[in-house]
């Protein structure tokens, strides 16, 4: 492979993407940076005059969206098996002990646990099959 060293890495001056990013992209960014102050002043002036689009643009850039937060709660969780745990969570949501978004997060977590268990069981079954096949030969 031309342009590479013995370890397979590209030598200095040789790119794995010869088309690469055009110099035009950097020129466009430079022009945008030059005009950024003027644009900012114009948007602020429009917002001060009551332009709601300008206000929204400023708020979207300056104020992060509020994420829901929940206080920790306690409820009875039947952890005999995953379906029982899911029913416990749903009862807690229905009874007002858990907020719906908390219940959804917990149910999603149970789904992830179920997938982990499923993968572990499949790995175990595959290993048992390999042992059986190995014993037949």
Report if residue 52 sits inside a domain: yes
128 and 89 in a single domain? The answer is: yes
Tell me what pLDDT residue 71 has: 82
Q: What is the pTM of this model?
A: 0.49
Q: In total, how many domains does the chain have?
A: 2
86 and 117 in a single domain? The answer is: yes
Tell me what pLDDT residue 137 has: 62
- 51-59's contacts with Cβ under 8 Å and 24+ in sequence apart are none
58 and 88 in a single domain? The answer is: no
Report if residue 73 sits inside a domain: no
92 and 125 in a single domain? The answer is: yes
DSSP letter string over 72-102? --------SSHHHHHHHHHHHHHTTSS-HHH
Domain extent at residue 131: 82-136
Tell me what pLDDT residue 22 has: 66
55 and 88 in a single domain? The answer is: no
Q: pLDDT in tens for each of the 137 residues of the chain?
A: 477 888 888 888 777 777 766 667 778 888 888 888 888 889 899 999 999 999 998 888 888 888 777 788 888 889 899 999 999 999 999 999 999 989 999 999 999 999 999 999 999 999 999 998 886 66
């Amino acid at each position: 492979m031309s342009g590479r060293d013995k370890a397979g890495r590209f030598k200095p001056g040789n790119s794995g993407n010869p088309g690469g990013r055009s110099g035009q992209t950097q020129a466009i960014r430079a022009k945008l940076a030059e005009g950024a102050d003027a644009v900012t002043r114009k948007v602020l002036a429009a917002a001060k005059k009551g332009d709601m689009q300008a206000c929204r643009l400023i708020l979207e850039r300056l104020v992060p969206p509020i994420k829901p937060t929940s206080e920790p709660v306690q409820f009875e969780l039947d952890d005999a098996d995953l379906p029982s745990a899911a029913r416990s969570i749903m009862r807690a949501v229905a009874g007002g002990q858990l907020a719906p978004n908390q219940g959804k997060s917990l149910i999603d977590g149970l789904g992830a646990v179920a997938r982990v268990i499923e993968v572990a069981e499949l790995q175990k079954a595959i290993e048992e099959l390999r042992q059986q096949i190995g014993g037949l030969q």
